[in-house]
Amino acid sequence: MRVVAQRAASGSVRWEEAGAPKVATIGPGLVLLVGAGPDDDETIVRRMADKLIDLRVFADEAGRMNLSLTDVKGEALIVSQFTLFADMSRGRRPSLLKAGDPARAEQLYESFVQQFRARGIEIIGLGLIWGLSFLFFKLGVHDMSPTVLVFIRSASGAVALAAIMALSGRSLFGGRLRSRLIPFAIMAITNAVIPWVAIAWGERTISSGLASILNATTPLWVAIFIFWVIPAERPSLLNYTGVLIGIAGVVILVLPDIVTHGLSGNLIGALAVVVASMSYAVSAMYQRTRMRGWNVFEQSLGQLIASAVIVFPLAIPTLPAVHLAWLSMAAVLALGIGGSGIAYLLYYYTMNTLGPVRATGVTFIVPVTAVFWGVVLLQESLSLPTIVGMVVILFGIVLTNMRRRPAPRPEAAREKEAARV
């Protein structure tokens, strides 16, 4: 596949369809001329699309090319152009024999366009999966300790993911396991052991819906921590306003319990879930700075195996108290296979492409589904403070994820003219 990419302040293309003139236009973004060759396939198309979507060719506030198409909320004008394969090495007439079959090339072009449209589907899928995860946590923690729950979740997720990789002919680690043990261990501790144990322990005293809402503060903690860790992705004043609003929402959620029970009871469970959210934020930034671009299968499997190994010694002392009821075991296995094995593939993909603030923004989708399932299946109550707190937190997260467009540059006028095709 061959692509000519032009950064543009605006772009347009005109054509006729059934005798009627058609025009497509974009604002700031990329103008792409795309041609498919005879050896191209869906894998190549997806890799090329992801590369372009994540390509840092837009200037940040300091004038450095540090932002991608998604970072600036840009648009893409994609034009099919088979003449990119023209061979002019001989004669006076270009040869197009190296271009792909027209019908197949059209399919690949449509697939390429779809990759641009589909960015964000992974986040919605994660929100639906992880919304159910809080329900499964609530069911599983009744019959086993948090550490046993985390071990079964990690182990079952690792087995499911390894099976998927084996059936698809993927190499498990490609000889890179030894050099990646420390990153896998760090991700296991910050993205699995600490948050999963904290959530399981917290849900012993709070509802699954409240746990999911508190977990939705993860992007707020990312926005706070990222100021020192990843300066290039430093949030704006508007983002930090969202952080303060989100924290206010958390206060609204826990304040009634503080007034009623003091610093005990449900408050401790709520604080445990907040600690889990902070741990998720730390892991998101570590992944972005140290593991970006790694194969998503390897990241997911490596973390799950490391998590199972680390938490197993902690789970052994609590094994005699485990009650193996079929409902709780089914819930924990669903957590492992769906909420870990499959969901983490989507999570690391969005982390690699969208960055930590936007990828952890999946948590604002989770409360809606988690509260719904908790009310419908577990008969959990839905109080006014819960509703108000959730609305305030979600509004804060929206502001936290907003990004200013970069200021116009002197060459913008020239780009605008060059982009018209």
Q: Which of 6, 25, 58, 82 is catalytic?
A: 82
Instruction: Return the pLDDT at 417.
Output: 37
Rounded to whole angstroms, the Cα distance separating 300 from 184 reads 9
Mean pLDDT score of the chain:
75
Rounded to whole angstroms, the Cα distance separating 354 from 228 reads 19
Tell me whether residue 420 is in a domain.
no
Note whether 92 and 126 are same-domain residues.
no
Letter string b/e over residues 17-52, b meaning 16 or more CB atoms within 10 A of that residue's CB: eeeeeeeeebebbbbbbbbbbeebeeeebeebbbeb
Supply 318's token pair: 């609590």
What pairing do the DSSP bridges indicate for beta strands 65-67 and 20-26? Answer: unpaired
**Which range among 54-63, 180-189, 226-235 shows the weakest confidence by mean pLDDT?**
226-235
Report the CATH number at residue 51. Answer: 3.50.80.10
Rounded to whole angstroms, the Cα distance separating 203 from 163 reads 31
Instruction: Return the pLDDT at 84.
Output: 81
Average pLDDT over every residue of 334-341: 75
Note whether 261 and 393 are same-domain residues.
yes
End-of-domain residue from the set 76, 94, 119: 119
Note whether 173 and 321 are same-domain residues.
yes
Number of C-beta neighbours around residue 409 at 10 A: 13
Closest by CA to 216, choosing from 190, 176, 172, 247, is 247
Q: Which of 6, 58, 83, 299 is catalytic?
A: 83
Instruction: Return the pLDDT at 413.
Output: 37
Q: Is the pLDDT of residue 263 over 80?
A: no
Tell me whether residue 79 is in a domain.
yes
Rounded to whole angstroms, the Cα distance separating 46 from 335 reads 29
Residues in Cβ contact with 28 at an 8 Å cutoff, skipping those fewer than 6 apart: 8, 9, 10, 72, 74, 75, 405
Tell me whether residue 174 is in a domain.
yes
Average pLDDT over every residue of 9-31: 79
Closest by CA to 84, choosing from 40, 20, 50, is 40
Note whether 83 and 195 are same-domain residues.
no
Tell me whether residue 414 is in a domain.
no
Rounded to whole angstroms, the Cα distance separating 258 from 29 reads 49
Q: Which domain holds residue 127?
A: 121-401
Residue 82 or residue 130, greater confidence: 82
Q: Which of 81, 190, 217, 350 is catalytic?
A: 81
Note whether 58 and 168 are same-domain residues.
no
Q: Is the pLDDT of residue 142 over 60?
A: yes
Note whether 158 and 273 are same-domain residues.
yes
Q: Is the pLDDT of residue 358 over 80?
A: no
Q: Is the pLDDT of residue 1 over 80?
A: yes
Q: Is the pLDDT of residue 372 over 80?
A: no
Note whether 112 and 237 are same-domain residues.
no
End-of-domain residue from the set 104, 119, 134: 119
DSSP secondary structure letter of residue 193: I
Tens-digit pLDDT profile for residues 85-94: 888 878 778 8
Taking the mean position of all CA atoms in its chain, how far away is CA 191? 13
Note whether 284 and 396 are same-domain residues.
yes
CA terminus-to-terminus distance, the chain:
20
Confidence of residue 189 (pLDDT cuts 50, 70, 90): very high
- The reply to whether 82 belongs to the active site is yes
Rounded to whole angstroms, the Cα distance separating 352 from 119 reads 12
Structural domains in the chain (count) = 2
Note whether 219 and 299 are same-domain residues.
yes
Instruction: Return the pLDDT at 45.
Output: 84
Note whether 279 and 138 are same-domain residues.
yes
Tell me whether residue 413 is in a domain.
no
Q: Is the pLDDT of residue 323 over 80?
A: no
Residue 72 or residue 55, greater confidence: 55
Instruction: Return the pLDDT at 311.
Output: 92
Tell me whether residue 415 is in a domain.
no
Rounded to whole angstroms, the Cα distance separating 379 from 381 reads 6
Distant-in-sequence contacts of 403-406, Cβ < 8 A, 24+ apart: 403/71, 403/72, 403/73, 403/236, 403/239, 404/61, 404/236, 404/238, 405/28, 405/72, 405/73, 406/58, 406/59, 406/60, 406/61, 406/67, 406/72
Note whether 129 and 79 are same-domain residues.
no
Task: Compute the C-alpha angle 281/348/253, nearest 5°.
Answer: 35
Confidence of residue 174 (pLDDT cuts 50, 70, 90): low
- The reply to whether 297 belongs to the active site is no
Q: Is the pLDDT of residue 277 over 60?
A: yes
Rounded to whole angstroms, the Cα distance separating 323 from 321 reads 6
Average pLDDT over every residue of 402-413: 45
Q: Is the pLDDT of residue 99 over 60?
A: yes
Q: Where are the alpha helices (DSSP H) in 60-217?
A: 102-118, 121-140, 146-167, 181-188, 194-202, 208-215
Note whether 73 and 199 are same-domain residues.
no
Residue 75 near residue 409, CB atoms below 8 Å:
no
- The reply to whether 83 belongs to the active site is yes
Residues in Cβ contact with 88 at an 8 Å cutoff, skipping those fewer than 6 apart: 94, 95
